[in-house]
Amino acid sequence: MKLCMDSMRPLRKRLQLLTMPTSAIASRAEISPTADAGGQASQTCMHAMRKRSLFAAVPLVALCGCAATTSTRFTPSPQPPVCHASSTAWVVWAPQWRADQKDVQARELAASEGIARFFRDSGCFASVTVRRVPQLSAPYVQSAAADAAQRSDTLVALAVRELGPVVKIGASVALVEGGTEVVLDIEEYKPPSEKRRAFSVHWRNGGPGIIKGVATLPQDMEAALAAALQPGAR
């Protein structure tokens, strides 16, 4: 990590100059020996160079050898595993995006793929049926629990609230801090009991100098479910 930060010091200086207020840049231009009769053309050229440098900065940060870290936060915490390798389960899920969520269709497709992969490959349950449902309101989930009682030991309801890349500018000495995050609301029912266990999980993978796109979102969903539901080692 130290090597990564050292390698980014020149980049930080460049970005500080590029993000300098216009008034400060103008003051420097006034005392510059190149601000002569052709100063207007020179300033135009300098503006274009700064713009190109700013766009070039992002790939330089992405190429830095910073290692991503993974964190998982349970609310409330701690939580025992939901997975039981000897049980049968009925899993219903639906997205609950915020009102201004972008690229909803692509995010839902990534969520669906990650959920399917997890329950197919993790060994979380001995057998499992996974369904995308229109909503996860309390009456709907209770109805699903009653149906599941006839065929499964466990009902799991998954609400996907966040799935996507995040980038913060100026969040640390690395100037750019990013990664991907997954936020899930989870409910577990054990029919015929009407009691439920409900908790939330905020999973994040990233750190200073990390920039991630959307290509890993199915894998991120799969990893977040592994952290949230805690399948045993296979």
Query: How do residues 18-65 score in pLDDT, each as one tens digit?
Result: 334 434 433 443 434 444 444 444 444 344 444 343 333 344 334 444
Co-location of 101 and 169 in the same domain = yes
Is 234 contained in some domain?
A: no
pLDDT at 7: 44
Alpha-carbon distance 102 to 98, whole Å? Answer: 9
Q: Which two tokens mark 43? A: 């300033």
Same domain membership, residue 81 and residue 58 = no
Q: What is the DSSP letter of 68?
A: P
The chain-wide mean pLDDT, for the chain, equals: 78
Can you give the pLDDT at residue 36? 46
Asked if 138 and 225 sit in the same domain, the reply is: yes
Confidence bin at 2 (pLDDT 50/70/90): very low
Which strand (E) or helix (H) includes residue 117? Answer: helix 104-121
Q: Which of 131-135, 186-190, 191-195 has the lowest mean pLDDT?
A: 191-195
Number of Cβ within a 10 Å radius of residue 194: 10
Nearest to 180 by CA among 225, 219, 226: 219
3-class secondary-structure state, position 152: coil
Indicate the burial class of 65 (C-beta count within 10 angstroms; 0-12, 13-18, 19 or more): exposed
CA-CA distance, 145 to 124, in Å (whole number)?
Answer: 19
Tell which wins on pLDDT, 192 or 12. Answer: 192
In sequence order, the β-bridge partners of residue 202 are 73, 183
Cβ atoms 198, 162 nearer than 8 A:
no
99-155 residue pLDDT tens = 999 999 999 999 999 999 999 999 999 999 999 999 998 888 888 888 777 789 999
User: Which CATH number does the domain housing residue 224 bear?
Assistant: 3.30.160
Q: Is residue 91 part of a domain?
A: yes
* Residues 182 and 208 both lie in one domain: yes
pLDDT for res 209: 83
Contact in structure between 51 and 14 (CB atoms under 8 Å): no
- Model confidence at 172, pLDDT cuts 50, 70, 90, reads low
Region 191-202 average pLDDT: 90
pLDDT at 8: 47
This prediction's pTM: 0.71
Asked whether residue 100 falls in the same domain as residue 120, the answer is yes
**Which domain, by its residues, includes 107?**
69-229
